[in-house]
Chains A and B, each alone.
Chain A
Amino acid sequence: MRFAGRTVGWSAGLVAVLCAVVTTSAGIGPVWIPPGVVGKVLLNAVVVPTGLSISGPAVDVTTAHVFSYAVSDLQTQIVMQVRLPRILLGAVVGFSLAAAGTIMQGIFRNPMADPSIIGVSSGAAVGAVGFIVAPVVIPFGLGLRGAAFAGALVAAFGVYLIATRNGRTPVATLLLAGVAIQTFLGAVVSFLLLHSGESIRRALYWLMGHLKGASWPEVTTSVVLVAIPFVALLAYARDLNIMLLGEEDAQSLGIEVERTKRVLLALSAVITAAGVAVAGIVGFVGLIVPHVMRLLVGPDHRILLPTAALAGASFLVATDTLARSGSAEVPVGIVTAVLGAPFFLYLLRKREVHEL
């Protein structure tokens, strides 16, 4: 089928771009490692399961490395332990923000919507800054990430509740409630910063959005948190297309509008929260990437959602590489905004934005 072919083609192309960006990025840093070497390191890390033994409750999977290229231990160490976690985390964050942005633009039928429109980022900021200023003990060692994640979901749920009446959530109300809550939470963050004393630097750094200090467990957690809702979102892609016709039309085409909106909002809130919790507030990825991909592949979410997510991953890895490769590292949120804002304004001038 022509359509499915287009989706697979674009996705495969963007996966290839992502691999190239990751490989290049893993070579860049204080020690330059050529892409060829990086490639070997990455291939060395590939394992395949060779056997499975079940003894009582324990499941034992034996694996084997497929490749064994000769690479120095130092280079392997730098790529696998220092750079790769950060790069992959960047990819996951970019993926999540772009995916959530695509969904939000669809739900709001507004190309200016972004993932934080329902208060997710502001909630995460309150959670994170609150934790930095007044650390409390959070079980399971979740700490800062957990606080940000929880804050994000609470804020999103609060906005949803405020905007819902008699089981209906009009998007206009949702948008305005989101703006109001964002403003309110912004004030809370300012207040917290005022009383943050010594930790203000750390708090500000978080607010600017960065990927510093990423670790493998973080990568694993966020991959799981993003992947599961993302797959569910893919199943809703066609419904989202129809939602673009307007809610009344969608209803008469057999979409349970309110339920679909609830599901989409919840899934994209989780995805955004997962991204924001590990990276802080990284702006513009969720706004620009879906926009650009819509220009390239059209508005059909069955192709737009996966391609925008993949493009978001590449974009954030690339911008984070820029962010860390200068003489002094800058938060990646600054880089995305510096690159993203002018590009967005260019789009704004070039293409009419019909409705707001």
Chain B
Amino acid sequence: MLDVSDLAVSFGEQSVVSGVDFTVDRGSLVGLVGPNGAGKTTVLRALKGTLDPDTGTVRVDGDPIREKSAKAVSRLVASTPQGTALSFDFSVRQTVEMGRTPHLGRFDRMGEDDQRAVERAMERASVAEFADRPFTSLSGGERQRVLLARALAQETPVLLLDEPTASLDINHAVRTLELVRTLVDDGKTAVAAIHDLNLAARYCDELVLLAGGRVRAAGRPADVLTSDTLRDAFDAETLVTTQPGTDAPLVTPLSERESVARRVHVIGTGTPAAAAVSKLAGAGCQVSIGVVPAGDTAAERAADLDCEAVTVPTFAGIDDAARERAADLAAAADAVVIAGETGDGNRPVIEAGNACLAVESGGSGHASGALDTVPLAGLSEAVASLPSATERDAARPLDQSATD
């Protein structure tokens, strides 16, 4: 439906985007993501034909957009801007009615079809309840929804949205994207610049990651949003997991000071262990876990985070091979962390570990009262404060290591 090839745009001497190629299939929702100043808005403006690219073409339905009249384009492509310069007091209804312009001749009046389209658009964007208020009296989020309603009233096959959720509360942000999703499922094609990676991942069929004026990655959200690409594009450390209830990736930014370069083995099951794994992996630790039943939340979390997990089939009991492997991991780790229910079979694994910490839990009854307990929030700091395995080995007297 939309085809961008070798697009380059510069403002004066400043090159904004170059060599941008991507296609948007009919009936799909594509998210444009990327850091501030990556050229998302510029690409959208090129898509709606309001700027002259230095090179490259944008095709809508096979035809170059620059060869079409504004009117022809406006019947194919509707867009919502990030904001609007509207400073005269049009009512919400009048503003939405302007979306019908592409369908009206110079001397035409709004017909019944047009009125219906306006009503439906206002209904869908949930702005009908303030249809008669002046646009200038609305809040930023309400204005954004009015602009969406205006674009919907245009009734075009293609919808371009520039930060449609930027100033929306969480309820309206989700409702807006659900609405766009529904429209796309009904056959529209949409491209949205979205700065919230998780919302983008959850609602878009495909993502195009722009950084430094180029396409860094494009494809399914799970393929685009990886720690490596995000580090490359945003220059930031992130933790990529899975959004609960979907298979969309969940990106959690990490602050740099948290990065703890330690090797940690986690023993435990269930949510507490899963939380410990996330926390530690998020802090930059190299995490392993086990022995844990396959299918346990903690095992799944470890798999999401590319952490090594020693698993055994559920209810099968711990076999020797698994126990040995886990014990090796524990012995090699800088620290062993116990979180949640461990099971008696894991006792040799715990004993194989050097420095042991337990995560505070609301009265879970595992028998390691002698261990240091730390709250989950302070877990990575506690691990960081322990000496590393190499430091410990260096400090340990030779004879003692021989008797081990």
Residues in chain A within 8 A of chain B (CB atoms): 1, 4, 109, 111, 235, 238, 241-242, 244-246, 248-249, 251-257, 294, 298-300, 354-355
Contact = CB atoms under 8 A, between A and B. Distances in A.
Interface residues of B, number: 32
B198 interface: no
B203 interface: no
B81 A257 contact: no
Nearest to B107: A235
A246 B70 contact: no
Interface string B44-57: 01001110000000
Given A246-B81, A248-B50, A253 B98 contact: yes
A257 B87 CA distance: 18
Contacts of A238: 101, 104, 106
Contacts of A249: 81, 84-85
B79 interface: yes
Contacts of B69: 256
A248 B107 CA distance: 23
A109 B69 CA distance: 24
Given A248-B45, A298-B89, A253 B102 contact: yes
Given A235-B107, A246-B81, A300-B94, A254 B86 contact: no
A286 B99 CA distance: 30
A252 B74 contact: yes
Nearest to B89: A299
A251 B99 CA distance: 12
A299 B104 CA distance: 20
B50 A251 contact: yes
B75 interface: yes
A244 B102 CA distance: 16
Interface of A is mostly: loop
Contacts of B78: 252
B17 interface: no
Contact of B81 (A109, A235, A242, A248): A248
A255 B104 CA distance: 11
B70 A255 contact: yes
Nearest to B45: A248
B50 A355 contact: no
Task: Please name the 8 residue pairs, one residue from A and one from B, whose CB atoms are nearest each other, closest first.
Answer: A254-B74, A299-B88, A246-B85, A254-B102, A254-B71, A253-B101, A354-B87, A256-B70
A300 B70 CA distance: 22
A241 B74 CA distance: 16
B73 interface: yes
Contacts of A253: 74, 98-99, 101-102, 154
A354 B85 CA distance: 10
B372 to A, nearest CB: 61
B106 A235 contact: yes
Contacts of B107: 235
A1 B115 CA distance: 12
B257 interface: no
Q: Which of A242, A253, A255, A354 has the most CB of B within 10 A?
A: A253
B93 to A, nearest CB: 11
A254 B70 contact: yes
A70 B287 CA distance: 110
Interface string B24-66: 0000000000000000000001001110000000000000000
Contacts of B94: 241, 300
Given A255-B70, A256-B70, A242 B87 contact: no
Given A253-B99, A253-B101, A254-B101, A244 B88 contact: yes
Contact of B86 (A244, A248, A251): A244
A241 B79 contact: no
Nearest to B48: A252
A245 B109 CA distance: 20
25 contacts: A1-B109, A109-B87, A111-B88, A235-B106, A238-B104, A244-B85, A245-B84, A245-B98, A246-B85, A246-B86, A248-B45, A249-B85, A251-B50, A252-B48, A252-B70, A253-B101, A254-B71, A256-B69, A256-B70, A256-B71, A257-B70, A299-B89, A299-B90, A300-B90, A355-B85
Contacts of B50: 248, 251-252
Contacts of A252: 48, 50, 70, 73-74, 77-79
B77 to A, nearest CB: 7
Contacts of B98: 241-242, 245, 253
Given A256-B70, A299-B89, 18 more contacts: A109-B88, A238-B106, A241-B98, A244-B88, A245-B84, A245-B86, A249-B81, A252-B50, A252-B78, A253-B74, A253-B99, A254-B101, A256-B71, A298-B90, A299-B88, A299-B90, A355-B85, A355-B87
A241 B90 contact: yes
A13 to B, nearest CB: 21
Contacts of A256: 69-71
B2 to A, nearest CB: 15
A254 B73 contact: yes
Contact of A251 (B70, B90, B106, B154): B70
Contacts of B81: 246, 248-249
A251 B50 CA distance: 7
Contacts of A255: 70, 101
Contacts of B154: 253
Nearest to A237: B106
Nearest to A256: B70
B137 to A, nearest CB: 12
Q: Which of A111, A235, A241 has the most CB of B within 10 A?
A: A241
Interface in B100-140: 101-102, 104, 106-107, 109
Contacts of B49: 251
Contacts of B73: 252, 254
Contacts of A111: 88
Contacts of B101: 238, 242, 253-255
A299 B134 CA distance: 11
A9 B380 CA distance: 74
Contacts of B104: 238
B385 to A, nearest CB: 55
A128 to B, nearest CB: 34
Contacts of B74: 252-254
A244 B90 contact: yes
Contacts of B85: 109, 244-246, 249, 355
B13 to A, nearest CB: 16
Contacts of A299: 88-90
A301 B57 CA distance: 37
